[in-house]
Amino acid sequence: MKKITIAEMAKHNGETIKLGAWIANKRSSGKIAFLQLRDGSGFVQGVVVKAEVGDDLFATAKGLTQETSVYVTGEVKGDERSAFGYELAVTGIEVIHEAKDFPITPKEHGTEFLMDNRHLWLRSRKQHAIMKIRNEIIRSTYEFFNDNGFVKVDPPILTGSSPEGTSELFATKYFDEDAYLSQSGQLYMEAAAMALGKVFSFGPTFRAEKSKTRRHLIEFWMIEPEMAFIEHAESLEVQEQYVSYIVQSVLKNCKLELERLDRDVSKLEKIKAPFPRVSYDDAIKWLNDNGFDDIKWGEDFGAPHETALAESYDMPIFITHYPIGIKPFYMQPHPERDDVVLCADMIAPEGYGEIIGGSERIHDYELMKQRIQEHNLDEDAYAWYLDLSKYGSVPHSGFGLGLERTVAWISGVEHIRESIPFPRLLNRLYP
């Protein structure tokens, strides 16, 4: 008898097979038991009919507790009533390990309890669906960039200098030197782009975010493409094509997961390039005209501003040309204005906020040096970075997409903590 996974059942319709599985849930009457089986690859209903399997096997089925691990044998049957499309007519059960008093029962639990039990909570249908969607976003990210001639490059995680200022840095020791955990691989990716043309990275980044929001993690994963000979407007086109691509990939390959999450897919189906562009100037004006008197030109948006700005669109939007004073030192100034830079943030619809920050980078040596001085950065630490604009400098652009924000948006989950297996939050380092 063949041992298969639940995901492979469609290829074995009508056959008798063996599955390794856990009991996710169980309902039974005097004559029939319904076992919700999960094996990591998916979920399927196992049906045990007393009249067919006999008293002993039926008693075993009825006694199965939540999260008990089993080998089950049975016949794969097409079942139009279930979203999955198949069920298992069980003919044998072998208990591997009996689980007693699994803490996460089908009833409602509080968030802190679930977070304390994150290692077990991951087994739930909802968390399973989110992790599968996360995986599909990562898979389609690699596919998109590989298909478009990008090379994957891995920047270091332990660094001596950092682009984003010092307030949110995690400091550590590197033998006798001070070191920091990476907040962004960007500067290294710029160096890589000068060597390999179009590059992308995918790795963890760390920010000591002191405020609790539903959008910020302490440890999160970023996708950071960087492109030589690509100017600001061209970079926006790559960004909208990339985000459209991952949304369409999830729609195509995660139908069951989106359904399990009750995601309104009609909202995702609309996500196709091009995305609207709104200037920072217009965004401020719109906010001030619409009752937001808590922000003026020169200030960065907060979550309520981003949510309001994106609200009237059913697409992610770009907010472009932010004031030079609220953006990092390396952004290329606007050719006709010295008060704004060639940058854009991509704001997701449905209140999920900024998912991408990107810009064209300065490629003039003197200007870069001047900006480093103006920002009071340590020139010695940036000497290697200045070399990039010294030897064959070219216009180049790049961006960073936060994976967990994107997972939260596409999955439609309220809080970013559910979009990563083991979230690191202000007050949470365990499990």
Residues binding ligand ATP (CB under 6 A): 164, 207, 209, 215-217, 220, 222, 353-357, 400, 402, 404-405
- Degrees, nearest 5: CA angle 6-431-401: 75
222 binds, among Mg ion, ligand ATP, none (CB under 5 to 8 A by kind): ligand ATP
**C-beta of 354 vs 404, nearer to Mg ion:** 354
Min separation Cβ 236 and ligand ATP, Å: 14
Q: How far is CA 148 from CA 186, 200, 245, 399, in A?
A: 20, 11, 12, 16
**C-beta of 216 vs 263, nearer to ligand ATP:** 216
305 binds, among Mg ion, ligand ATP, none (CB under 5 to 8 A by kind): none
What DSSP element (H or E) covers 195? helix 186-196
Structure tokens at 291: 């009752």
Q: Does 328 bind Mg ion (CB under 5 A)?
A: no
Distance in angstroms (rounded) separating the CA atoms of residues 244 and 225: 16
**C-beta of 48 vs 331, nearer to ligand ATP:** 331
**C-beta of 121 vs 352, nearer to ligand ATP:** 352
The one segment of 54-62, 150-158, 169-177, 349-357 that binds Mg ion by CB under 5 A: 349-357
Min separation Cβ 163 and ligand ATP, Å: 9
**C-beta of 42 vs 357, nearer to Mg ion:** 357
Distance in angstroms (rounded) separating the CA atoms of residues 16 and 355: 47
Are 7 and 85 spatial neighbours (Cβ–Cβ below 8 Å)? no
Distance in angstroms (rounded) separating the CA atoms of residues 115 and 113: 5
114 binds, among ligand ATP, Mg ion, none (CB under 5 to 8 A by kind): none
**C-beta of 231 vs 300, nearer to Mg ion:** 300
Are 331 and 360 spatial neighbours (Cβ–Cβ below 8 Å)? yes
- Degrees, nearest 5: CA angle 136-139-145: 135
Interacting residue with Mg ion among 185, 357, 358, 423 (CB under 5 A): 357
Query: DSSP letter at 12?
Result: G
| Radius of gyration from C-alpha coordinates of the chain | 26
217 binds, among Mg ion, ligand ATP, none (CB under 5 to 8 A by kind): ligand ATP
Q: Does 398 bind Mg ion (CB under 5 A)?
A: no
Are 126 and 114 spatial neighbours (Cβ–Cβ below 8 Å)? no
By CB under 5 A, name the binding residues for Mg ion. 354, 357
